[in-house]
Amino acid sequence: MRVLITGVAGFIGFHLAKKLLEAGYSVFGIDNFNDYYEVSLKYARINQLGIEASEMITDQIVQSKKYLNLFCLHADICNLKNITTIFEQAKPDIVCHLAAQAGVRYSLENPRAYADTNLMGFFNVLDAARQSGVKHFIYASSSSVYGLNEKFPLEETDPVDHPVSLYAATKRSNELMAHAYSHLYEMPTTGLRFFTVYGPWGRPDMALIKFTKAIFERTKISLYNHGNMMRDFTYIDDVIDGVTAIIELPFQPAKNWSSISKNPSISSAPFQILNIGNSSPVNIIDCINTLEACIGMKANIELLPHEACELSSTWADVSKLENYYCFKPSTSLAIGVKRFITWYRDYYKI
């Protein structure tokens, strides 16, 4: 089975590639190695997969020395020529589209980056998958699409018409584009709404790493909404196990579905939306307390007012994932944080 992973040097993309390679899949990866956060971390991830940074020359496909079933291309999904090249070489059965301009707050500073990558880039990959006859198109959505919802836990059937950031709006747009392609071309698509993913090799712009860095460096941690926020922290291994559980099992058209059912997570087309979260929300201050206990140092917390782009709470209902795919994330925050801090100390030489 041949799998194309976009964003292969990213946090989730790297872990997914490693899991699939060890399971015997042929993996083709593409990444543009942009500088939204430290590029050295992206190269370090790729190095773990047997490819040196110096080998990643733009527009040239490189084979891993560690995994002979891994091929990577340093290129941008916004460039249609790059997408054509990787699809011609990979001839994928499955696409896991994880490349995106990430981050909620950065979308306030540089909205065009989100329009370019998350809309045009998404379309390039989606349409290439259609033309290639891909058997299952899986893509990263986000818990941020739930926006102003105040009913918890958040279910895939809940309305998602009021995003509070451009990032969230682009992710919801991806879901709508995928449905159109499932309907028009009968291409199976699955959108995965990830909930606050954390763990080893995580992105430096995400809360857990920012908190950890601040504790070690004895700098302030700024908490919005005066710290009254809940997050459904989901350990990376649970996320990857969730993706691999569904990768070869695309959702079939719902036989009895109609618009009257008002269930936006399935359709008469081969389309579905799935939450992947721990389903165990934690107060953000309790999360910092867990970090303090694991690190052995106290945090310096600064409480700030609510920001319009931030959700006050996330909490995933994962009953659909459990019922259809017999999988439910289960790693506790205490265990996940311990593993993460072990990696953090080793990687940053602390």
Q: Catalytic positions, please?
A: 167
The topology (CATH level 3) of 2-203+232-279+312-331 is Rossmann fold (3.40.50)
- Joined tokens for residue 133: 């006859």
- Joined tokens for residue 238: 């649970």
154: left (phi over 0), alpha (psi -120 to 50) or beta: beta
Closest by CA to 344, choosing from 237, 159, 214, is 214
Q: Which amino acid is at 301?
A: I
- How many other CB atoms are found less than 10 A from the CB of residue 349? 5
Taking the C-alpha atoms of residue 246 and residue 232, their distance in angstroms, rounded to an integer, is: 21
Taking the C-alpha atoms of residue 317 and residue 208, their distance in angstroms, rounded to an integer, is: 22
Which pTM value belongs to this model?
Answer: 0.95
With contact defined as beta carbons under 8 Å apart, do 96 and 15 qualify? Answer: no
DSSP, collapsed to helix, strand or coil, labels residue 243 as helix
pLDDT tens for the chain, 350 residues long, are: 999 999 999 999 999 999 999 999 999 999 999 999 999 999 999 999 999 988 988 888 999 999 999 999 999 999 999 999 999 999 999 999 999 998 887 888 899 999 999 999 999 999 999 999 999 999 999 999 999 988 999 999 999 999 999 999 999 999 999 999 999 999 999 999 999 999 999 999 999 999 999 999 999 998 887 778 899 999 999 999 999 999 999 988 988 887 777 788 999 999 999 999 999 999 999 999 999 999 999 999 988 876 765 667 789 999 999 999 999 999 999 999 999 999 999 999 99
Q: What is the rounded (10 degree) CA torsion for 320, 322, 323, 324?
A: 80
- Joined tokens for residue 186: 């009968």
Taking the C-alpha atoms of residue 350 and residue 337, their distance in angstroms, rounded to an integer, is: 16
